[in-house]
C-alpha cells in the first residue's frame, strides 16, 4: 500500500512540475527576448549617435612617458658574428 501511495504522490508532483514548466518557461523566454531587443536597440542608438567626431579626426587620450636619460643606459649592444 505504501508503494502505491508513493507512486501516486510522485506522479502528481511530476505532473504539477510539468504544468508549471509549460506555463513559466514561455514567460521567461519572452522576458529574456524583450531584454535582448532593448539592449540591441540601445546599442544601435549609440552607434548612430550624431555627436560623433567627423571622419578623419583623431584624438590621443594617453601618451606614455618618455624614458629619461641617454640611450647608453638602456642596454648594451653586442655585435653579432655568424660562425661557420
pTM of the model as a whole: 0.42
pLDDT of 15? 96
- In the predicted model, residues of the chain with pLDDT beneath 70 are 49-53, 69-76
At residue 36, φ and ψ (nearest 5 deg) are: -65, -40
CA distance 8 to 2: 10
Amino acid at each position: 500500500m505504501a508503494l502505491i501511495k508513493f507512486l501516486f504522490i510522485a506522479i502528481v508532483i511530476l505532473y504539477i512540475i510539468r504544468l508549471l514548466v509549460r506555463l513559466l518557461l514561455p514567460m521567461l523566454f519572452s522576458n529574456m527576448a524583450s531584454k535582448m531587443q532593448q539592449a540591441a536597440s540601445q546599442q544601435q542608438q549609440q552607434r548612430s549617435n550624431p555627436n560623433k567626431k567627423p571622419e578623419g579626426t583623431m584624438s590621443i587620450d594617453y601618451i606614455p612617458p618618455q624614458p629619461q636619460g641617454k640611450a647608453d643606459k638602456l642596454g648594451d649592444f653586442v655585435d653579432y658574428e655568424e660562425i661557420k
